[in-house]
Amino acid sequence: SGLVFAKGEPESAREGESIFQDVTIPEAPEDQGIGTLVGMQNSFRSVAQKVLPTVVEVDTVDIVTQSFSNQSPFGFFFRGPDSNENTVPREFRRSGLGSGVIIYRSNGNVYVLTNHHVAGEAEEITVTLADERKFEAELVGSDPNRDLALLVFETKEEIPVIEIGDSDTLMVGDWVLAIGNPYGFASTVTAGIVSALGRETTSAGGSVTYTDYIQTDAAINQGNSGGALVNIYGQLVGINTWIASSSGGNVGLGFAIPINNAKKVVDDLLNEGKVEYGWLGITVGDASETIREDMGLGSATGGFVVGVIKDSPADKAGILPGDYITSIGGAAIKGRDELVVSVGNIEPGTTVDFKVIRNGASFDTPVTIAVKDEARLAESGSKMWPGFFPVSLTDELRERFSATKEAGNIVVGNVDEGSQAADAGLRAGDIISSINGKPVDDLSQLYRIINEAGTKNYEFTLFRRGEELKIQIRR
Vertex 111 angle, CA 110 and 112, to 5°: 125
Q: Work out whether strand 163-164 and strand 235-243 pair parallel, antiparallel, or are unpaired.
A: parallel
Assign 54 to helix, strand or coil. helix
Q: What is the DSSP string of 270-330?
A: HHTSS---EE--EEEEPPPHHHHHHHT-TT--SEEEEEEETTSHHHHTT--TT-EEEEETT
What is the tally of helices (H) and strands (E) in the chain? 11, 28
Assign 22 to helix, strand or coil. coil
Instruction: Please list the residues that pair with 4 across neighbouring strands.
Output: 10
Buried b (16+ CB within 10 A) or exposed e, 205-241: eeebbbbbbbbbbbbbbbbbbbbbbbbeebbbbbbbb
Query: Which residues are annotated as catalytic?
Result: 117, 147, 225
The CA-atom distances, in angstroms, between 433 and each of 177, 234, 295, 393, 462 are: 59, 63, 18, 12, 6
Strands, E assignment, 286-437: 303-309, 324-328, 331-332, 351-358, 361-368, 370-371, 384-385, 388-392, 410-415, 431-435
- Give the residue from 192, 237, 235, 191 showing the smallest Cα distance to 214: 237
Strands, E assignment, 32-154: 55-69, 87-106, 109-114, 124-128, 134-143, 148-154
Give the distance between the most distant pair of CA atoms in the chain.
Answer: 109
Task: Categorise residue 296: left if φ over 0, alpha if ψ from -120 to 50, beta otherwise.
Answer: left
